[in-house]
Structure 1
Amino acid sequence: MDIVLILLVALAVEFTLGDPPNVVHPVAWIGKAISSLERLGFIGGKTYQFVYGAVATLGLTAVVITASLFIVSWLKDINYVLYVIVAGVLLKMTFSFVYLRKTALHIKHLIENDETLDKARFELRALVSRNTSKLTRPYLVSATVESVSESLCDSLVSPLFFFVVFSLFGPYGIAAAFGFRVVSTFDSMIGYHGKYEYLSKFPARLDDVLNYLPARISALLVVVAAGITRMGARRTWSIARVDHLKTESPNAGWPMAAAAAALRVQFEKIDHYRLGRADRPMTPEVVDDSLRLINSATWVWFIICFAAGGLLYALAKA
């Protein structure tokens, strides 16, 4: 029952306390560690940067996995109730969806008013890496909804995927979820071209490998959610199968293309990609529909994770 109980605690924390301040947030600590490691990444040439990026990524991942595995294993030996509570809190630190949805709604309200468009452009930088300073309203909506759909994989499906899978082999689920979060944070902080091209090659490619299955699961979840919300599951899958290839990332295109298809809009990142079909205008109301779609996909994923935990418990008792 470990998977089920830990998930219940994690959900309770997500809906009540939410994320703690950065000063006590493990993922914020990981980000600070990456910033410190980054400073030594440019004292050599391209080969040095690549090797350093690989060593730094694997080294920090190993440290975080070891530390989290030690904590949960030690607590499980001492007190089971305390183990479940702490493991649930730690698991919550690896995923987020309530905060992201609130942020998307806040930006949507800013986009709706001409007087607050500049503020929307500024605050959207918290969700996307592109230059938002000159984006018009349709492009602001597109960037917001793209972030919401892509976050289904990076911020929810992936960490819980590794938690559930590695929990099948013992108390390794929390460590696996944090291991993924280290790699994902590396990629989000330095996984760009230009200055970070060689330093980020290893963490970026490793992130692609780790997200390979979760990204495709995320697309399937969006298809199921499209059926639940009556947005057209068959059409969603048909377009996602074609358009996911249009993004540079081998994974990000899956949930985004599926969401664009379900919403009957076209996502566009200027000079990079166009996903979906422009059957309706990109108005702020699309943000509401995207949240309804992704929220449905989120709950389908939670049900699957709970079912996996329940099945494992039943098999263990059989």
Structure 2
Amino acid sequence: MTWTVLGGRSLEREAAAVATAAQDGDLPAARRRVRSLVGRDPSALEVDGLARACVESLAENTVDAVVAPLLWGAVAGLPGLLGHRAVNTLDAMVGHHSARYERYGWAAARLDDLAAWAPARVTVALTALETQLRTGAGREVLRAARRDGRAHPSPNAGPVEAAWATSLGLRLGGTNTYGDVVEDRGVLGDGPAPTPRDVQRAAALLRRVTWGALAVGVGLRVAVRPPR
């Protein structure tokens, strides 16, 4: 069941395919493929916009598809694994604003925010630790998560994307279009806009954070598991 609910490798594979198509100049293929990662309208995205979508998706979904299931599984076992996956999938299906599912979708989105609140903060902490070990800039990652994360409409994706932007030396956020809705997600980080080459760097960060989350999950499981 742990293998079933984890999605880190799938995230890497899809992001790499989008980045390769964009870098090769095949924008129609990249725009079609990026729909598997993001809910925004990709029809007007150019190369840098597609790269930003990939990096932001890797950051946000590291919480949803890696850190949160590992932590919920560690704390609550099988019900934690499957319960979190059900909540997150429900949010992905109906959590966006729509006339048909407005109130039901609101409840799904808020429940997903609650389930991911602690895992998102753990992801920020792991990103800061990884950056500190790699470049010595862990404090800057934490500072960016607090400073820039609040500009994002999501209480969980904002801090994580700001942390990743600073760790990778990039600038994320900006304006996204979801059907008829245009959403400003603030400016996250101080670096240049991502390019397709940065997607591989973001995937490497995902792998390092995954190992950290696995260590935290094993520690939690040992701590909460009752003695036989």
Q: With structure 2 as the length reference, what TM-score do the two structures score?
A: 0.89
Deviations 1:250-276 (A, max 9, x none): 111121111011112111341411333
Which ranges in structure 2 are unaligned for 5 or more consecutive residues? Answer: 176-182
Query: After the TM superposition, which residues 103-142 of structure 1 pair with which residues of structure 2 at under 5 Å, given as runs?
Result: 103-114=14-25, 116-142=26-52
Q: 1:301 aligns with which of 207, 213, 220?
A: 213
Give the Cα–Cα distance (whole angstroms) in 1 for the partners of residues 48 and 115 of structure 2. Answer: 32
For the 8 Å contact 2:63–2:119, the answer to whether it is kept is: yes
For the 8 Å contact 2:148–2:189, the answer to whether it is kept is: no
Query: After the TM superposition, which residues 249-268 of structure 1 pair with which residues of structure 2 at under 5 Å, given as runs?
Result: 249-268=154-173
Q: 1:205 aligns with which of 110, 127, 143?
A: 110
Deviations 1:58-102 (A, max 9, x none): xxxxxxxxxxxxxxxxxxxxxxxxxxxxxxxx1221221111111
For the 8 Å contact 2:56–2:172, the answer to whether it is kept is: yes
| Shift in CA distance, 197/231, structure 1 to aligned 2, threshold 3 Å | farther
Query: After the TM superposition, which residues 1-318 of structure 1 pair with which residues of structure 2 at under 5 Å, given as runs?
Result: 90-114=1-25, 116-166=26-76, 173-195=77-99, 196-230=101-135, 232-270=137-175, 271-311=183-223, 316=227
| Shift in CA distance, 284/277, structure 1 to aligned 2, threshold 3 Å | same
Give the Cα–Cα distance (whole angstroms) in 2 for the partners of residues 193 and 252 of structure 1. Answer: 17
Per-residue deviation, 1:309: 3.6
Give the Cα–Cα distance (whole angstroms) in 1 for the partners of residues 173 and 188 of structure 2. Answer: 9
Per-residue deviation, 1:212: 1.2
| Shift in CA distance, 279/165, structure 1 to aligned 2, threshold 3 Å | same
For the 8 Å contact 1:231–1:262, the answer to whether it is kept is: no
Per-residue deviation, 1:148: 0.3
Report what 1:55 is aligned to.
Answer: none
Which amino acid letter does the alignment assign opposite residue 204 of structure 2?
Answer: R
Which amino acid letter does the alignment assign opposite residue 218 of structure 2?
Answer: F
Which amino acid letter does the alignment assign opposite residue 189 of structure 2?
Answer: R
| Shift in CA distance, 276/264, structure 1 to aligned 2, threshold 3 Å | farther
- Decide which structure has greater strand share: 2
Give the Cα–Cα distance (whole angstroms) in 2 for the partners of residues 97 and 224 of structure 1. Answer: 19
Per-residue deviation, 1:231: 6.8
For the 8 Å contact 2:174–2:187, the answer to whether it is kept is: no
Larger radius of gyration: 1
Deviations 1:21-70 (A, max 9, x none): xxxxxxxxxxxxxxxxxxxxxxxxxxxxxxxxxxxxxxxxxxxxxxxxxx
Which ranges in structure 1 are unaligned for 5 or more consecutive residues? Answer: 1-89, 167-172
- Deviating above 4 A after TM superposition, structure 1's stretches of 4 or more consecutive aligned residues are 310-313
1:282 match: secondary structure: coil
Deviations 1:149-193 (A, max 9, x none): 111110111111111112xxxxxx111211111111110000011
- Decide which structure has greater helix share: 1
Alignment RMSD (CA, Å): 1.8
Question: Quick one: percent identity of the two aligned structures?
Answer: 28
Which amino acid letter does the alignment assign opposite residue 82 of structure 2?
Answer: F
Give the Cα–Cα distance (whole angstroms) in 2 for the partners of residues 142 and 218 of structure 1. Answer: 19
| Shift in CA distance, 258/139, structure 1 to aligned 2, threshold 3 Å | same
2:43 match: secondary structure: coil
For the 8 Å contact 2:12–2:58, the answer to whether it is kept is: yes
1:126 match: secondary structure: coil
For the 8 Å contact 1:187–1:203, the answer to whether it is kept is: yes
For the 8 Å contact 1:256–1:275, the answer to whether it is kept is: no
Give the Cα–Cα distance (whole angstroms) in 1 for the partners of residues 223 and 84 of structure 2. Answer: 24
